[in-house]
Amino acid sequence: MSVCLVTGGAGFIGSHIVDALLARGDRVRVLDNLSTGRLENLSAAMEKIEFVEGDIRDEATAQKVAEGVDFVFHLAAMVSVPKSMEKPAEAESVNTIGTLNVLTAARAAGVRRLIFSSTCAVYGDEPTLPKTETMPPRPQSPYAISKLAAEAYCQLFNESFGLETVVLRYFNVFGPRQDPSSPYSGVISIFVERMTKGVAPTIFGDGEQTRDFVFVEDVVRANLLASETPNAAGKIFNVGTGRQVSINHLFKSLADVLRRELSPRYGPPRPGDISHSCASPALANTVLGWSAQISFEEGLRRLTTGVVPE
Ligand code: UD2
């Protein structure tokens, strides 16, 4: 049994990691300031975990929660690209300085390994596909810059400060508990919410843009493997399926699983949108033995279970 700290553990992905750690018998502590995380994501776990409401930027809080911890899963972040455009200093403060603070606390507490949740946004709109981890990053938002800087701190701590770290670059994650309420929420959560109400969603542009959608349970598994695999320390891994799905195809597939006869609306392309995105999961496969096991279609089925009309 290990003691694990999940920062951002009340969030969409973090709360699924909490559930998986509890299922394998670990002791779990969550640090979350509930700025975007929600306690209801932890409703099943709450009695079994230690929940600390606090900010990763607060040194005393970070030190306190890192005490006695074996593994840190660091997910707390400002996750919105558009919000980072409006508030670049806050993105830097939360995502970079906050991560540095968590790394410092983890090192002082003698943590065995820290797994950092990063993003495919660090690749920017470089047209080469699929993305491999060795490509030069081209961050194009404060969000991406702040995450890239945090990655560099993770690697520094691994190389020079005696704390093992692993960086995971998530592609487009989807699954239960993804909050559809903001206009910048993940496209799948927005489409599911609208289509279950019988409302046609809006496709920005011609819908032929593609994304690499990875189901949240596969992302959880990548985190657990990153914590357990000895030679993963110091490495950066893409967490994506390697398959490109267009937004038009997403719409059609959802209409199928939700059994809704709807036509999408088309709106102007979203400014700054990248055209295509796709991971090479080869390195994660070789080193972690990880590859996505839940297909896009199966992920949509699991996500919509319970909302499909009989
Ligand atoms: C994802 C990440 C973002 C960042 C970025 C890096 C999510 C939610 N966001 O942004 O944090 O890492 O990748 O490149 O994972 N769309 C519609 N209609 C809608 C909403 C979206 O057509 O109502 C389109 C949108 O124009 C885009 C695609 O769906 O082409 C995916 O949009 P998204 O916001 O889910 O994710 P993305 O890839 O822009």
User: Could you read off the pLDDT of 264-286 as tens digits, one per residue?
Assistant: 999 999 887 889 999 999 999 99
Do residues 110 and 154 both lie within one domain?
Answer: yes
Residue in this structure with the two tokens 């797994």, named with its chain if needed:
115
Name the E strands within 130-195: 164-170, 172-174
For residue 186, CA distances in Å to 10, 128, 235, 298, 306 come to: 17, 23, 27, 18, 20
Minimal-distance CA residue to ligand 1 atom 6 = 121
- Domain total for the chain? 2
The CA 53 to ligand 1 mean position distance, Å, reads: 29
309 — pLDDT class (breaks 50, 70, 90): very low
Structure tokens belonging to residue 19: 């559930």
The CA 204 to ligand 1 mean position distance, Å, reads: 10
- Of the chain, the percentage scoring pLDDT greater than 90 comes to 93
What number of residues does the chain have?
A: 310
Quote the DSSP letter at residue 136: P
User: Could you read off the pLDDT of 284-308 as tens digits, one per residue?
Assistant: 999 999 999 999 999 999 999 865 4
132 — pLDDT class (breaks 50, 70, 90): very high
Task: Tell me the backbone φ, ψ of residue 21, rounded to 5 degrees.
Answer: -65, -40
Q: Is residue 82, in this structure, part of any structural domain at all?
A: yes
The pLDDT of residue 307 is 53
Q: How far apart are CA 72 and CA 69, in angstroms?
A: 7
* 39-49 average pLDDT score: 98
Cβ of residue 270 lying under 6 Å from some atom of ligand 1? yes
Cβ of residue 187 lying under 6 Å from some atom of ligand 1? yes
Structure tokens belonging to residue 276: 């295509």
- Residue 310: pLDDT over 70: no
The pLDDT of residue 308 is 44
Output the average pLDDT for the chain.
Answer: 96
Higher pLDDT, 309 or 52: 52
Q: How far apart are CA 284 and CA 239, in angstroms?
A: 7
The pLDDT of residue 306 is 62
Do residues 261 and 143 both lie within one domain?
Answer: no
Name the E strands within 49-128: 50-53, 71-74, 113-119
Task: Tell me the CATH number at 191.
Answer: 3.90.25.10
Structure tokens belonging to residue 140: 């194009």
Cβ of residue 120 lying under 6 Å from some atom of ligand 1? yes
Cβ of residue 273 lying under 6 Å from some atom of ligand 1? yes
User: Could you read off the pLDDT of 89-131 as tens digits, one per residue?
Assistant: 999 999 999 999 999 999 999 999 999 999 999 999 889 999 9
Residue 291 belongs to what domain range?
175-211+242-304
Structure tokens belonging to residue 278: 């796709």
CA 63 to chain centre: 24
Cβ of residue 121 lying under 6 Å from some atom of ligand 1? yes
Q: Is residue 198, in this structure, part of any structural domain at all?
A: yes
- Residue 241: pLDDT over 80: yes
Minimal-distance CA residue to ligand 1 atom 9 = 186
- Residue 3: pLDDT over 70: yes
List b or e across 189-222, with b for residues whose CB sees 16 or more CB atoms inside 10 angstroms.
bbbbbbbeeeeebebeeebebbbbbbbbbbbbbb
In DSSP terms, 202 is beta-bridged to 265
Question: CA angle 226-231-234, nearest 5°?
Answer: 75
The pLDDT of residue 16 is 98
Least confident of 142-151, 256-265, 298-307: 298-307
Do residues 127 and 246 both lie within one domain?
Answer: no
Active-site pick, 143, 170, 184, 266: 143
Whether 143 is catalytic is: yes
- Residue 61: pLDDT over 70: yes
Q: Is residue 278, in this structure, part of any structural domain at all?
A: yes
Do residues 188 and 106 both lie within one domain?
Answer: no
The pLDDT of residue 167 is 99
Cβ of residue 200 lying under 6 Å from some atom of ligand 1? no
- Which of 194, 223, 239 is the last residue before a domain boundary? 239
Q: How far apart are CA 174 and CA 178, in angstroms?
A: 7
Which atom number of ligand 1 is nearest to the Cα of residue 267? 22
Q: Is residue 309, in this structure, part of any structural domain at all?
A: no
- Of the chain, the percentage scoring pLDDT greater than 70 comes to 98
The CA 267 to ligand 1 mean position distance, Å, reads: 15
Q: How far apart are CA 183 and CA 57, in angstroms?
A: 27
Residue in this structure with the two tokens 């398959």, named with its chain if needed:
243
The CA 24 to ligand 1 mean position distance, Å, reads: 32
Q: Is residue 310, in this structure, part of any structural domain at all?
A: no
Q: How far apart are CA 136 and CA 140, in angstroms?
A: 13
Tell me which of 187, 189, 270 to substitute to probe ligand 1's pocket, judged by most ligand atoms within 8 Å of the beta carbon: 187
Residue in this structure with the two tokens 């670049």, named with its chain if needed:
88
